[in-house]
């Protein structure tokens, strides 16, 4: 079969079960060549199983996985044109850095001569800014350096797809941000398809150009990071990707008025008619504006600040609203009239643009 | 130590270590010193030891060359055969066996220890004797096969008796092996055989070396198996020592042989450690 596929990876109704437990059910996914896709979801959502099925460490129970248009069912890991950066890296402790990186090249048949292997391994180490570290032993390298060795060890084989299993989970926050930028740059320069598995929504949003949100073995949404954040398909996505306020509501018979738990009505303009019945109103913390209650200010809700988390240029407030429960609101200091923080126990009014709200059937 | 004794913690440590130190001093160091002294002495006319300073006993070592030969050949060969048999078993237990049955299977390896080695070796004596396997072979046409009292019988007994001691350390090191390293190897294009020789085997070497050292050292002092299955024809140094101390009461010569054996054991250990370090490429391999 000659491949004219524009997809590097394709899942065709793939399911995977372990005995009675279904890890992944009926996944259909196409990853275009050169894409950076993130499989995002809570633990146990099946994202790692999907990655392992691409790598060849698991076989689908039904359906098939294709790489470069070639069906991969029954093809063992060592015959697949993909390489993986493992969680906690899985570097060989009995080899030095260069031997780790050259491992894949040493497996190649026909054999590559030793000088060429060494040249390519060192080139890969240069690429991840570890030139000159070749003779170090693995345990002498820091976590961030080990991460880059793992990256070099995978990339040296020039795979058509690079799989990354929670690659940044073991790094501290500063290093993680640096590696996010580094990974993104590498991916653009090499033009290799990257498939990243993560439970960290920030990581998925910041690096990938396609986010595949998974829950309970299924794909819930597949879209660009911005679309996932701005237009989540359901409350799970809205809640998992970023923070969100969940407000129980009932859609009135007219299909455009929401009745909230405290009895107030909210009219949602400019939308196709909503299905009458109970619904969830989802509001991002930053979509809500916050004002001190000093007579003149009016808003949709009023409440009392119960907690404040100071974040530097902004702060997160937890606000108790009578009849509706707690609201999470993010406010920049510059948004407040006097540029100061609101103190706990202060009475505030909340406002928001109804068109920024998401309404999902409950 | 003297400084540590000043503190309460140091006193506790000393108190805890003291029994072991005393035990080793009384039952290991002192007897060894006595043996050194005996080995340069002379046999008293009525047997035992009389003081002297001579190396005549050491010069006489070739008189027991058969015992040395048997021990120094059968001990390493026996432990190598143990290794060859034990590795696949340990590999199966640690890597392939379903976790549900692993504990059961591992305990089966240890079960033979519940019966005395003496009894089990007697069983082999019967099995290999004229009414055992040779009798069965005789019925299907192989006449006059002798197994008992041959080096082969001793080797068989050795491998049977010491196999669990080889399986356990290898099992432990294979069990600790991170499965993701095997996946990483496959991911990088290594076929299963290549993964075994590049990753699994090197990383289980500490277990292999521990097993080899343990079994070899114990075999160098083996007495029971050659006594029962070698029938006085295939005897080890241990058998020669019993003979010298209890029968001919030549304590100085026995001591000289024992001292030589200790020197050989230390030498074997050093070589084993050297090889382990060299293969593992690091000085972090611990032998036990």
| B93: CATH | 1.10.3720.10
The Cα B251–Cα B49 span in angstroms is 6
CB contacts, 8 Å: B189 with chain A:
78-79, 104, 107-108, 157
Nearest to A124 by CA among A141, A148, A108, A94: A148
The Cα A339–Cα A174 span in angstroms is 28
Q: Which domain holds residue B64?
A: 26-280
Nearest to A215 by CA among A205, A201, A225: A201
The Cα A68–Cα A132 span in angstroms is 35
Closest approach of chain B CAs to the CA of A17, in angstroms?
18
Neighbouring C-beta atoms of residue A215, cutoff 10 Å = 19
β-bridge partners, A283: A245
> Any chain A CB within 8 A of the CB of B180?
yes
- Whole-model pTM over 0.95: no
- Between chains, do A78 and B203 touch, taking CB under 8 Å as contact? no
- Residue A235 and residue A302 in one domain: no
The Cα A330–Cα A328 span in angstroms is 7
Of B191, B192, B203, Cβ closest to residue A94: B203
Kind and range of the H or E run holding A32? strand A21-32
Cα dihedral A217→A220→A226→A227 (10° resolution):
160
| A299 within domain boundaries | yes
Closest approach of chain A CAs to the CA of B192, in angstroms?
9
- Given a cut of 60, whether residue B252 has pLDDT beyond it is yes
The Cα B253–Cα B59 span in angstroms is 10
- Between chains, do A90 and B178 touch, taking CB under 8 Å as contact? yes
- Residue A89 and residue A143 in one domain: yes
- The DSSP line for A259-318 is EETTS-EEE--SSPPPPSEEEEEEE-GGGEEEEE-SSS---SEEEEEEEEEE-SSEEEEE
| B21 within domain boundaries | no
CB contacts, 8 Å: B188 with chain A:
78, 83, 103-104, 107, 153-154, 157
Specify the length of chain B in residues: 288
- Residue A139 and residue A36 in one domain: yes
- The pLDDT value recorded for residue B201 is 93
Decide: A229 and A60 in contact? Cβ < 8 Å.
no
β-bridge partners, A352: A288
CATH code of residue A345: 2.40.50.100
- Between chains, do B190 and A103 touch, taking CB under 8 Å as contact? yes
- Between chains, do A94 and B181 touch, taking CB under 8 Å as contact? no
- Between chains, do A77 and B199 touch, taking CB under 8 Å as contact? no
- Between chains, do A103 and B188 touch, taking CB under 8 Å as contact? yes
Average pLDDT, chain A: 90
pLDDT (tens digit per residue) in A257-266:
888 888 888 8
Decide: A356 and A284 in contact? Cβ < 8 Å.
yes
| A155 within domain boundaries | yes
What is the pLDDT tens value at each position of chain A, 362 positions in all?
Answer: 444 567 889 999 999 999 999 999 999 999 999 999 999 999 999 999 999 999 999 999 999 999 999 999 999 999 999 999 999 999 999 999 999 999 999 999 899 999 999 999 999 999 999 999 999 999 999 999 999 999 999 999 999 999 999 998 888 888 888 889 999 999 999 999 999 999 999 899 999 999 999 999 999 999 999 999 999 999 999 999 989 999 999 988 888 888 888 888 888 776 777 888 899 999 999 999 888 877 655 677 889 999 999 988 889 999 999 888 899 999 888 777 666 788 888 888 898 888 888 989 88
Distances (CA, A) of A164 to A9, A55, A77: 14, 10, 15
Test the B interface: residue of A92, A96, A165 with most B CBs within 10 Å: A92
- Residue A289 and residue A249 in one domain: yes
> Any chain A CB within 8 A of the CB of B33?
no
Query: C-alpha A113: how far from its chain's center?
Result: 41
- Given a cut of 80, whether residue B4 has pLDDT beyond it is no
- Between chains, do B190 and A86 touch, taking CB under 8 Å as contact? no
| B17 within domain boundaries | no
Distances (CA, A) of A60 to A72, A73, A203: 10, 8, 27
Please state at what angle helix B99-110 crosses helix B151-176, rounded to 10 degrees. 150
Angle at A313 between CA A307 and CA A314, to 5 degrees: 35
- Residue A206 and residue A288 in one domain: no
> Any chain A CB within 8 A of the CB of B280?
yes
CB contacts, 8 Å: A55 with chain B:
183, 187
- Given a cut of 50, whether residue B232 has pLDDT beyond it is yes
- Residue A91 and residue A199 in one domain: yes
- Given a cut of 60, whether residue B178 has pLDDT beyond it is yes
pLDDT (tens digit per residue) in B24-80:
999 999 999 999 999 999 999 888 889 989 999 999 999 999 999 999 999 999 999
CATH code of residue A173: 3.40.50.300
- The pLDDT value recorded for residue B169 is 95
Measured between CA atoms, the residue of chain B closest to residue A103 is B188
- The pLDDT value recorded for residue A297 is 57
Test the B interface: residue of A91, A94, A95, A161 with most B CBs within 10 Å: A94
Query: C-alpha B283: how far from its chain's center?
Result: 23
> Any chain A CB within 8 A of the CB of B270?
no
- Residue A186 and residue A217 in one domain: yes
Decide: A82 and A75 in contact? Cβ < 8 Å.
no
Q: Where among A239, A255, A286 does a domain terminate?
A: A239
Q: Where among A198, A215, A239 does a domain terminate?
A: A239
CB contacts, 8 Å: B180 with chain A:
86-88, 90
Q: Where among A193, A221, A239 does a domain terminate?
A: A239
The Cα A70–Cα A33 span in angstroms is 14
- Between chains, do A104 and B198 touch, taking CB under 8 Å as contact? no
- The pLDDT value recorded for residue B159 is 95
| B13 within domain boundaries | no
The Cα B206–Cα A233 span in angstroms is 55
Whether residue B177 is preceded by a cis peptide bond, meaning omega within 30 degrees of 0, is no
- The pLDDT value recorded for residue B279 is 66
The Cα B133–Cα B143 span in angstroms is 11
- Between chains, do B189 and A92 touch, taking CB under 8 Å as contact? no
| B16 within domain boundaries | no
Nearest to B42 by CA among B255, B257, B252: B252
CB contacts, 8 Å: B198 with chain A:
103
- The pLDDT value recorded for residue A295 is 62
Nearest to A30 by CA among A6, A46, A61, A59: A6
- Residue A19 and residue A95 in one domain: yes
- Predicted ipTM of the assembly: 0.85
Q: How many domains does chain B divide into?
A: 1
Kind and range of the H or E run holding A26? strand A21-32
Structure-token pair, residue A94: 């009995």
The Cα A17–Cα B30 span in angstroms is 66
**At A13, phi and psi to the nearest 5?**
35, 60
- Rg for chain A, CA atoms, rounded: 25
The Cα A197–Cα A175 span in angstroms is 18
| B212 within domain boundaries | yes
Q: How many domains does chain A divide into?
A: 2
Mean pLDDT of B201-221: 90
- Between chains, do A77 and B187 touch, taking CB under 8 Å as contact? yes
- Residue A144 and residue A204 in one domain: yes
Closest approach of chain A CAs to the CA of B190, in angstroms?
6
For residue A200, with 0-12 CB atoms within 10 Å meaning exposed, 13-18 middle and 19 or more buried, which class applies?
middle
Measured between CA atoms, the residue of chain A closest to residue B181 is A90
pLDDT (tens digit per residue) in B105-117:
999 998 888 889 8
Three-class DSSP category at A44? coil
| A2 within domain boundaries | no
Complete edge-to-edge strand list for the sheet that includes strand A193-198: A82-85, A161-165, A193-198, A36-40, A210-215, A218-223
The Cα A150–Cα A201 span in angstroms is 23
Closest approach of chain A CAs to the CA of B182, in angstroms?
9
Closest approach of chain B CAs to the CA of A75, in angstroms?
12
Test the A interface: residue of B178, B181, B188, B276 with most A CBs within 10 Å: B188
Query: Could you tell me where the beta strands, DSSP code E, fall in B138-194?
Result: none
- Between chains, do A103 and B282 touch, taking CB under 8 Å as contact? no
Test the A interface: residue of B177, B184, B283, B284 with most A CBs within 10 Å: B184
- The pLDDT value recorded for residue B282 is 52
- Residue A127 and residue A48 in one domain: yes
- The DSSP line for A84-147 is EEBTTB---TTSBHHHHHHHHHHH-SSPPPHHHHHHHHHHHHHHTT-TT-TTSBGGGS-HHHHH
Of B181, B186, B282, Cβ closest to residue A92: B181
A156 Cβ contact list (under 8 Å, min separation 6)? A101, A102, A104, A105, A120, A121, A123, A124
- Between chains, do B184 and A137 touch, taking CB under 8 Å as contact? no
- Residue A295 and residue A160 in one domain: no
pLDDT (tens digit per residue) in B106-151:
999 988 888 898 999 999 999 998 888 888 888 888 888 888 999 9
- Between chains, do A93 and B183 touch, taking CB under 8 Å as contact? no
pLDDT (tens digit per residue) in A179-188:
899 999 999 9
Complete edge-to-edge strand list for the sheet that includes strand A301-310: A288-292, A347-352, A301-310, A314-321, A325-332
The Cα A344–Cα A328 span in angstroms is 13
Q: Which domain holds residue A249?
A: 243-361
| A1 within domain boundaries | no
- Residue A57 and residue A164 in one domain: yes
| B78 within domain boundaries | yes
Closest approach of chain B CAs to the CA of A116, in angstroms?
17
- Between chains, do A83 and B191 touch, taking CB under 8 Å as contact? no
- Between chains, do B281 and A78 touch, taking CB under 8 Å as contact? no
């Amino acid at each position: 079969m000659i491949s004219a596929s524009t997809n590097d990876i394709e899942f065709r109704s793939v399911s995977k079960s372990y005995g009675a437990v279904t890890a992944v059910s009926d996944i259909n996914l196409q990853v275009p060549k050169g894409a950076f896709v993130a499989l995002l979801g809570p633990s146990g959502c099946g994202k790692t199983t999907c990655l392992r099925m691409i790598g060849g460490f698991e076989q689908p129970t039904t359906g098939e996985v294709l790489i470069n248009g070639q069906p991969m069912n029954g093809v063992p890991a060592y015959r697949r044109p993909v390489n993986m950066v493992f969680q906690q890296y899985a570097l060989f402790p009995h080899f030095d850095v260069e031997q780790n990186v050259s491992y894949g090249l040493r497996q190649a048949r026909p054999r590559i001569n030793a000088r060429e292997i060494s040249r390519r391994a060192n080139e890969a180490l240069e690429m991840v800014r570890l030139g000159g570290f070749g003779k170090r032993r693995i345990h002498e390298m820091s976590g961030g350096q080990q991460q880059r060795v793992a990256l070099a060890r995978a990339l040296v084989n020039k795979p058509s797809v690079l799989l990354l299993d929670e690659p940044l989970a073991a790094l501290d926050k500063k290093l993680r941000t640096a590696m996010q930028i580094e990974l993104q740059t590498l991916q653009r320069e090499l033009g290799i398809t990257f498939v990243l598995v993560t439970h960290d929504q920030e990581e998925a949003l910041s690096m990938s150009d396609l986010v595949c949100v998974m829950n309970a073995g299924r794909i819930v949404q597949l879209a660009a990071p911005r679309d996932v954040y701005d237009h989540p398909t359901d409350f799970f996505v809205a809640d998992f990707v970023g923070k969100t306020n969940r407000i129980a509501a009932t859609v009135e018979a007219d299909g455009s008025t929401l009745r909230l738990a405290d009895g107030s009505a909210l009219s949602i303009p400019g939308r196709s008619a909503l299905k009458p019945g109970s619904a969830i109103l989802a509001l991002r913390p930053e979509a809500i504006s916050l004002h001190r209650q000093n007579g003149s200010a009016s808003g949709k809700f009023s409440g009392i600040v119960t907690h404040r988390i100071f974040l530097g240029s902004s702060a997160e407030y937890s606000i108790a609203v009578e009849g509706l429960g707690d609201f999470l609101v993010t406010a920049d200091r510059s948004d407040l009239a006097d540029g100061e923080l609101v103190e706990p126990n202060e009475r505030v009014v909340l406002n928001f643009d109804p068109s920024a709200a998401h309404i999902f059937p409950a | 130590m003297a400084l540590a004794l000043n503190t309460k913690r140091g006193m506790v440590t000393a108190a805890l270590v003291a029994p072991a130190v005393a035990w080793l001093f009384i039952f290991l160091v002192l007897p060894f010193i006595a043996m050194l002294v005996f080995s340069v002495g002379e046999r008293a006319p009525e047997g035992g030891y009389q003081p002297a300073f001579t190396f005549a006993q050491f010069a006489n070592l070739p008189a027991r060359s058969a015992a040395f030969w048997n021990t120094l050949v059968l001990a390493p060969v026996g432990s190598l055969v143990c290794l060859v048999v034990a590795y696949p078993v340990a590999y199966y237990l640690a890597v392939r066996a379903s976790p549900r049955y692993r504990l059961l299977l591992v305990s089966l390896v240890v079960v033979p220890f519940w019966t005395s080695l003496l009894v089990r070796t007697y069983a082999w004596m019967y099995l290999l004797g004229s009414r055992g396997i040779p009798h069965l072979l005789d019925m299907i046409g192989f006449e006059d096969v002798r197994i008992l009292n041959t080096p082969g019988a001793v080797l068989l007994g050795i491998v049977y008796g010491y196999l669990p001691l080889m399986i356990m350390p290898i099992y432990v090191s294979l069990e600790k092996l991170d499965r993701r390293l095997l996946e990483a190897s496959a991911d990088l294009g290594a076929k299963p055989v290549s993964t075994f020789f590049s990753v699994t085997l090197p990383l289980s070497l500490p277990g292999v070396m521990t097993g080899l050292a343990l079994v070899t050292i114990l075999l160098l002092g083996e007495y029971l198996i050659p006594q029962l299955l070698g029938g006085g024809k295939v005897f080890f140094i241990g058998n020669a020592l019993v003979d010298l101390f209890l029968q001919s009461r030549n304590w100085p010569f026995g001591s000289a042989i024992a001292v030589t054996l200790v020197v050989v054991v230390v030498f074997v250990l050093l070589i084993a450690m050297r090889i382990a370090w060299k293969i593992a490429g690091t000085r972090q391999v611990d032998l036990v």
